[in-house]
Chains A and B, each alone.
Chain A
């Protein structure tokens, strides 16, 4: 098992890519700390993973838009002398709107979740990585962050900010044996993409070289690589998981 003896904290873990990463990490022997706004769904995830994979799972009701909720969770974790090795900043939201019509509250919500949530969770995690004398931070960007897309200026720029954050933080933390990388998924079959307009959905599908939507498990496998010792000399990288999608 690739993550035996490791502890991973994953945000947005109740469904989609976050759940797929949590499940694969549990299968590979990692104990888990999971954050989600939906604590009831998270409790079901905890039960399933503990029963199936015999790992320890802690769950916290955290909306990553709210710094105080993040801080409270980390205080609880550290008060129990728990220090983890892997952070997956997965929690994210996507709302499509052209710049002309996008409303302020949407802009704030996207940036608070995708950018500030990632920054704050990373900052609070440093204590843990310093104690463990190393670690791996995996941020979730997007192909929209690397390439941009019409009607996704706010979402795309928030995911581009994640890339900038990843590259700079990787340089800052490399001397401390803490690696920081990002994944840039393409069109992945999750609740987030199910809500897309049908024409937009079909157009996106046609632009994928491998002619299929990605599965959350496709992303989880690359997250496993970045979490494990297999990527021990990899930092500051943005890895596309997009099946050859062209935007």
Chain B
């Protein structure tokens, strides 16, 4: 599984939605399933999947799937 696939799987599991719905344009609180609670689960899921520790500022900044990729790049995760 490549990093893109891992990212989609993490989002799908954390938000409990179909992988096909995970697009770069998907925004935090843009759908009912991506609320503040599932956001916490998402961060934990990403940390576990990519074996990283995400800083608090980045947790707050992760406002979309595209932004998540940008942030993960800072942790040497390539897409």
Q: Which residues in A have some Cβ–Cβ distance to B below 8 Å?
A: 78-79, 123, 126-127, 130-131, 172, 175-176
| A127–B41 CB distance below 8 A | no
- Chain A CB count within 10 A is highest, among B37, B40, B43, B56, for B40
Q: How many pairs of A and B residues are in contact by the CB < 8 Å rule?
A: 19
Contacting residues, chain A, for B43 (C-beta < 8 A) = 130
| B47–A127 CB distance below 8 A | yes
- Chain B CB count within 10 A is highest, among A79, A126, A127, A175, for A127
Chain A interface mostly: helix
Contacting residues, chain A, for B56 (C-beta < 8 A) = 123
Is B48 in contact with chain A by the CB < 8 A criterion?
Answer: yes
CB distance from A144 to the nearest CB of B (A): 32
Which 5 A/B pairs are nearest by Cβ-Cβ distance?
Answer: A130-B44, A175-B37, A78-B53, A131-B44, A130-B40
CB distance from A218 to the nearest CB of B (A): 35
The one of B40, B47, B48 in contact with A176, judged by C-beta atoms closer than 8 angstroms, is B40
Contacting residues, chain B, for A172 (C-beta < 8 A) = 37
The one of A78, A79, A123, A176 in contact with B41, judged by C-beta atoms closer than 8 angstroms, is A176
CB distance from B60 to the nearest CB of A (A): 12
Contacting residues, chain B, for A130 (C-beta < 8 A) = 40-41, 43-44
Question: For window 39-73 of chain B, which residues contact chain A by CB distance below 8 Å?
Answer: 40-41, 43-44, 47-48, 53, 56
Contacts A78-B53, A175-B37 given; 14 further ones with Cβ under 8 A? A79-B53, A123-B56, A126-B40, A127-B47, A127-B53, A130-B40, A130-B41, A130-B43, A131-B44, A131-B47, A131-B48, A176-B37, A176-B40, A176-B41
CB distance from A240 to the nearest CB of B (A): 31
Contacting residues, chain B, for A123 (C-beta < 8 A) = 56
Q: How far is the CA of A126 from the CA of B43 in the complex (A)?
A: 11
| Contact sample, A vs B, 11 pairs, CB 8 Å cutoff | A78-B53, A79-B53, A127-B44, A127-B47, A127-B53, A131-B44, A172-B37, A175-B37, A176-B37, A176-B40, A176-B41
Contacting residues, chain B, for A78 (C-beta < 8 A) = 53
Q: How far is the CA of A110 from the CA of B37 in the complex (A)?
A: 31
Q: How far is the CA of A19 from the CA of B30 in the complex (A)?
A: 47
Q: From A75, which residue of chain B is reached at the shortest CB distance?
A: B53
